[in-house]
Amino acid sequence: MAQPSTKVLARAPTDKTGAVLTSRSTASQFPLLPDALPLARFSAAEDLRAAIGLWTAWLAGERRASPHTTAAYGRDLAFFLDFLTGHLGELTRLATFAQLSAADYRAFLAHRAAEVERASIARGLSVVRGFVRFLERRGLASSPALSILRAPKLPRSVPKPLSVADAAELVDAPPALVTSVWQAKRDVALLTLLYGCGLRISEALGLKCSEAPRGDLVTITGKGRKQRLVPVLPVVRDAIADYLAACPYPLAPDGPLFVGARGGPLNPRVVQRQMQTLRNALGFPDTATPHALRHSFATHLLGGGGDLRAIQELLGHASLSTTQRYTSVETERLLAVYESAHPRARSR
């Protein structure tokens, strides 16, 4: 029995790390997507586990949350229930929520403060609030104490883009660091696509071969399965065409555009490790991530006179306030230019 099993694994598609890709991943979903947490993972009584199952289905269905979001929310809720089990000395039930006090929630926040950063604490509390609201809307449970609890204040985060010169250097760097010619061309195509079109890494790796940017526009499916049209620069089209011509694997129209060393869907972790190699070689900071190319896309458009509303559409932001974060970056740049160039600033 062991020998046939070994042969099957030997022929199974793998990513660049050698990990075997699951049938769920190779069928139609790419990049590789996490599964929702199994109900057995939650430290809860049966009635609460059943409610968690409804909540998870609601997130993925009605809310159209991505598998990454669903899995992350599940982990945050699981951490909260793990704490309650130890804190109360018994499994949490639906009726337990009405008995919780503000002190119980503050004890959870203090417990998490010793383990994670403030942003993760705030997100975890937000997940708990959302879960309790879900229970309340369905008449399953309520927690009055949660309404008087305040979330920890967070410093306003500012995107950390690359400079124009650094972004260009990063996009052109892979050929010097990758021994395989076709993989180098793949990495150049992917990074050029991220920077040239402002895509999330999941959006780029989620493209099918039939959706490869070959014209002036490309349709991108973003968060919540919302679609948007993004212009495609000639340099992006050329990089994609160069990669497709060099790729040694036959790419099915419904298969992934970007593939790994063994021909399976390219794993996001492989891209992140490659980016780490690049920034170490180029002396860039840790903030030079694949997502930083998206930040750079938006910031450089804004610096070149781009309209904020247009940039919002290109990025696929649901709210303009999300896009407005990039104005802070541009303001900081202008202040730095002023401080270094104005005669009275220099005299100070």
Annotation says 317 is catalytic: yes
Annotation says 138 is catalytic: no
Annotation says 348 is catalytic: no
Catalytic residue among 63, 68, 123, 223: 223
Tell me the CA distances in angstroms from 251 to 258, 259, 263, one per residue in order.
Answer: 9, 9, 9
CA-CA distance, 98 to 144, in Å (whole number)? Answer: 7
The residue whose two tokens read 């840790």 is 286
Q: Is 227 helix (H, G, I), strand (E, B) or coil?
A: strand
The pair of three-digit structure tokens given for residue 284, joined into one six-digit string: 């860039």
Catalytic residue among 73, 195, 243, 326: 326
Annotation says 7 is catalytic: no
Annotation says 300 is catalytic: no
Catalytic residue among 185, 186, 279, 317: 317
Please state whether the peptide bond connecting residue 343 to the residue before it is cis, i.e. omega within 30 degrees of 0. no
Annotation says 223 is catalytic: yes
Q: Is 137 helix (H, G, I), strand (E, B) or coil?
A: helix
The burial of 31, by beta-carbon neighbours within 10 Å (0-12 exposed, 13-18 middle, 19 or more buried), is given as: buried
Contact 188, 145 (CB under 8 A): no
Q: What is the greatest pairwise CA distance in the chain?
A: 82
Catalytic residue among 49, 279, 294, 295: 294
CA-CA distance, 291 to 200, in Å (whole number)? Answer: 6
Catalytic residue among 41, 111, 291, 333: 291
Catalytic residue among 93, 200, 269, 325: 200
Residues with a catalytic annotation lie at: 200, 223, 291, 294, 317, 326
